[in-house]
Amino acid sequence: MIRKEHLFLILFILFSGVVQAQEKQETNIYVHPSQEKFAAWLNQKWQSDQHKIQSIINSKKSVQWDKDSNGNIILCNGFSPSGLPEYLITAYSTPASVTVGTNQLWDYGSLGVNLSGNNSILINKMALWDGGRASQTHVELSGRINAGDSGVAVSGHSTSVAGIMIDKAINADARGMAYGLGGILSYDFYNDVAEMAAASPNLLLSNHSYVNLCGWFYGNRHNPSGPAEWEFWGGPTDTVDYNFGYYDDYCSNVDSIVFNAPFYTIVKAAGNNRTSIGPAIGGSYWRRDSNANWIFIPHRDSLISSNNSYDIIPTMGNAKNIITVGSVLPIPNGYTQPSDVQLTSYSSWGPTDDGRIKPDIVSPGENIFTASASSDTSYNFFGGTSAATPVVTGSLLLLQQLEYNLSKKFMHASTLKALVVHTANEAGTTAGPDYKYGWGLLNVEKAAAVILNQNYDHVWFERRLWQGRDTSFKVIAVDNGPMTFTICWTDPPGFVDMVNYKNNRTQKLVNDLDISVTDGASVFLPWALDVNNPSLPAVKKNNSVDNVEKIEIPNAIAGKEYTVTINHKGILRNGFQDYSFVASGINGAMVSDQNPLGLTVFPNPSSNNCTIRFKPIDNNNAVITISNMSGQKIRQEVFTPISPITNHPLYLNSLSKGIYLINLLHNNIKSTVKLEKL
């Protein structure tokens, strides 16, 4: 049965396809004009839910917003398909930057860039939804926490999460991932989805270190003034909480938000459910009846799940178009091999009910040193998927900064996710993805290297696939070694089944794109997992559930030609699907109409000297010209390029601060890029 709000959402998405359907080769910046109306509808629905919530709260003599004995913020935010109230809870449970390689993007590290978020265009492009507002007066955060909503109390959880993202390194050990960022927006998670929809046109990233309260919980929701005891949050007769793996309204709504604001990436904690296993068999606990009354159960039945294995990621973490983050132990000296990556005991595992790979990525989430709200100069060690998530969010902002420095454009959320999946460090005991570690450990350094493409062995682009059309092109392996291809697309929101909602295997993928690679004799297919046998290793086969696909060819032959094909199954909603493509280990420069020579300049911005890099056609002379934005020539020099890749220094000491055009002329072909002089 389709509820009225679902029918509205379906009509909304169908209408959006008509508005967006225009012929183009590359996707442009686009935010759906009805996003504001969608936000208003979400807000209206949320307001309606508040009346139901208050009625239940009053009748049960309970509270809507509270803290548990561990300091977790708890909020009643909606209802299950059976009508029971549902709650959000902050996901509580050092060298995080070293573990994921973010430190190599700071201070002219291994890639020669100096990124910290220190660009005014990035201010308030990143947001935080949490159990309260981050401290605006802490020395690490002062002047950089901008209230997204009013009247919100300071939260210790929010402050520590914000610190991991942007601590300015007053204490060097607490340096945040984007420590130079001038400001973020800080919201509480009250009415979060409507607020996200309203803010999405102006955001690049947001962090969500909270989950729905699911499964076993040691708390006192049954008696807020009493001691903590075990509570089971599944339905009145359930042995497993249906919320685990479930694609609900929350998932559908955030997928719709990203679909209509394609540059916006939502980063979400997977949850800490695996160590909340309930009382021993025969032990007492509390659970709710069909009227939401808490009842005491003196003896636990052995059939009730301990939610300590697969399929225990709650609700929103199962959305298609977001990045869901699991937690691993920090690796103080950096990653060297898969066995270095050790999952924390609490981090929730996938899959989703329809078999999609979750979490998407893992990140360090244990003993992260960061700002504390205890005082304006205090710090603490913070842990949980709550800590792992902002490591990812803050780091990904630096990748957007890098691309903006190079092209004055931002990447689509699908490109950012493709880069995350494409460059992840292998984790787990078998090759490929799994439902514990997702695609592996975040590797920001490697993702940045793809964007820079300094050795001309990476390519990425954003394209549109039209109904009934395939895209095929040839590439050449650059080495005897791994060759990797990844596609990712922001899929339209899936259907929410409010009737058959318990472990329903019906796929939530709407537009099913496929990638394959051939070499004339062999066909190479993407990784895929088996939802019915979640512990089995990944295999290479057709994937019909995930909106990200990755092909790895470990023994590519240098100089050999391979054909890449991107196509689709069935009918594409709206008649087309935008997607992002990333490839590594291939021979070729990233070119465009404005940059046919694949010219790059690094570091960019630069304070003194920098280097230009390009792939020359031959050894004929090249001319480099520096001009200001008015087209006035500042300097020109002629040099002889060196095959196959030329690096040529540029000396900038005499230039004033500002934006300049770097023009390269070689064999009557011209490439132009922008350079910022600091």
Task: Return the closest-CA partner of residue 268 out of 233, 314, 308.
Answer: 314
Three-state DSSP state, 187: strand
The structure tokens 């075990």 sit at 230
Task: Return the closest-CA partner of residue 427 out of 411, 438, 416.
Answer: 438
Q: What is the pLDDT of residues 83-134, one digit of tens each?
A: 776 766 554 434 799 999 999 999 989 998 999 999 999 999 999 999 999 9
Q: Which residues contact 306 (CB under 8 A, 6 or more apart)?
A: 216, 277, 278
Q: What is the pLDDT of residues 207-237, one digit of tens each?
A: 999 988 899 999 998 998 899 999 999 999 9
Task: Return the closest-CA partner of residue 389 out of 263, 212, 250, 207.
Answer: 207
Give the Cα separation of 171 and 441 in Å (integer): 27
Q: What pTM did the predictor assign?
A: 0.80
Tell me the residue type at 136: Q
Burial class (CB in 10 A: 0-12, 13-18, 19+), 80: buried
Residue 227 parent element (H or E) = none
Q: What is the pLDDT of residues 167-215, one digit of tens each?
A: 999 999 999 999 999 999 999 998 999 999 999 999 999 999 998 889 9
Looking at residue 589, what is its pLDDT? 46
pLDDT mean over 390-416: 95
pLDDT mean over 507-524: 96
Q: What is the pLDDT of residues 598-608, one digit of tens each?
A: 787 877 778 77
Q: Is residue 605 reached through a cis peptide bond, with omega within 30 degrees of 0 on the bond before it? A: yes
Looking at residue 41, what is its pLDDT? 72
Looking at residue 50, what is its pLDDT? 67
Give the Cα separation of 567 and 548 in Å (integer): 13
Residue length of the chain: 678
Q: What is the pLDDT of residues 13-66, one digit of tens each?
A: 222 332 232 223 333 334 565 677 777 777 777 677 766 666 666 665 455 556
Backbone angles phi, psi at 446, to 5 degrees: -70, -35
Pair of tokens at residue 348 = 């929730």
Q: What is the pLDDT of residues 426-458, one digit of tens each?
A: 999 999 999 999 999 999 999 999 998 877 789
Looking at residue 29, what is its pLDDT? 39
Residue 475 parent element (H or E) = strand 471-476
Give the Cα separation of 451 and 582 in Å (integer): 10
84 near 60, Cβ under 8 Å? no
Bridge-based pairing of strands 85-90 and 561-568 is: unpaired
Q: Which residues contact 595 (CB under 8 A, 6 or more apart)?
A: 671, 672, 673
Looking at residue 203, what is its pLDDT? 98
Q: Classify domain 453-584 at the CATH topology level.
A: Jelly Rolls (2.60.120)
406 near 392, Cβ under 8 Å? no
Predicted confidence band at 6 (pLDDT cuts at 50, 70, 90)? very low
Half-sphere exposure for 646 (CA within 13 Å, toward CB): 25
Fold identical between 26-423 and 600-677?
no
Give the Cα separation of 326 and 441 in Å (integer): 9
Looking at residue 8, what is its pLDDT? 32
Q: What is the pLDDT of residues 579-592, one digit of tens each?
A: 999 999 987 544 45
pLDDT mean over 1-11: 34
By mean pLDDT, which of 59-68, 248-257, 548-557, 605-614 is the weakest? Answer: 59-68
Q: Which residues contact 178 (CB under 8 A, 6 or more apart)?
A: 116, 117, 122, 126, 165, 166, 394, 395, 397, 398, 401
Gap between the terminal Cα atoms of the chain? 59
Give the Cα separation of 162 and 183 in Å (integer): 10
Looking at residue 671, what is its pLDDT? 84
Give the Cα separation of 332 and 490 in Å (integer): 35
Looking at residue 56, what is its pLDDT? 64
How big is the CA angle at 319 (ends 303 and 548), to the nearest 5 degrees? 110
Q: What is the pLDDT of residues 141-167, one digit of tens each?
A: 999 999 999 889 999 999 999 999 999
CATH 3.40.50.200 fits 26-423, yes or no: yes
Query: What distances in angstroms separate CA 560 from CA 480, 525, 564, one per listed residue?
Result: 9, 18, 13
**Which DSSP category does 81 fall into?**
T
Backbone angles phi, psi at 59, to 5 degrees: -70, -30
Pair of tokens at residue 72 = 């977790």
Could you give the maximum distance between any two Cα atoms of the chain, in Å?
86
- DSSP letters for 612-647: EEE--SSSS-EEEEEEETT--EEEEEEE---SS-EE
Looking at residue 483, what is its pLDDT? 96
By mean pLDDT, which of 78-92, 246-260, 435-449, 528-542 is the weakest? Answer: 78-92
Give the Cα separation of 602 and 454 in Å (integer): 9
Task: Return the closest-CA partner of residue 274 out of 309, 303, 305.
Answer: 309
The structure tokens 């493509």 sit at 581
Q: Is residue 338 reached through a cis peptide bond, with omega within 30 degrees of 0 on the bond before it? A: no
Query: What distances in angstroms separate CA 143 from CA 134, 159, 162, 289, 579, one per listed residue?
Result: 12, 14, 13, 48, 38
The structure tokens 């689709």 sit at 568
Q: Classify domain 600-677 at the CATH topology level.
A: Immunoglobulin-like (2.60.40)
Give the Cα separation of 218 and 117 in Å (integer): 39
Domain boundaries, the chain: 26-423, 453-584, 600-677
Q: Which residues of 414-434 are buried (b: 16+ CB within 10 A; e: fewer)?
A: bbbbbbbbbbbbbbbeeebbb
% of the chain beyond a pLDDT of 90: 65
Q: What is the pLDDT of residues 347-377, one digit of tens each?
A: 999 999 999 999 999 999 998 999 999 999 9
- Does the structure show a pLDDT above 80 at 77? no
Q: Which residues of 508-523 are buried (b: 16+ CB within 10 A; e: fewer)?
A: bbbbbbbbbbeeeeee
Q: What is the pLDDT of residues 626-649, one digit of tens each?
A: 998 777 899 999 999 887 778 888
Sign of CA dihedral 448, 450, 455, 461: negative
- Any idea of the CA torsion for 36, 577, 423, 394, to the nearest 10 degrees? 0
Looking at residue 23, what is its pLDDT? 28
Query: What distances in angstroms separate CA 307 from CA 184, 214, 243, 272, 391, one per listed residue?
Result: 35, 9, 11, 10, 26
Backbone angles phi, psi at 126, to 5 degrees: -125, 140
Looking at residue 626, what is its pLDDT? 92
Beta bridge partners of 485: 551, 583
% of the chain beyond a pLDDT of 70: 88
Tell me the residue type at 311: D
Pair of tokens at residue 140 = 């690490």
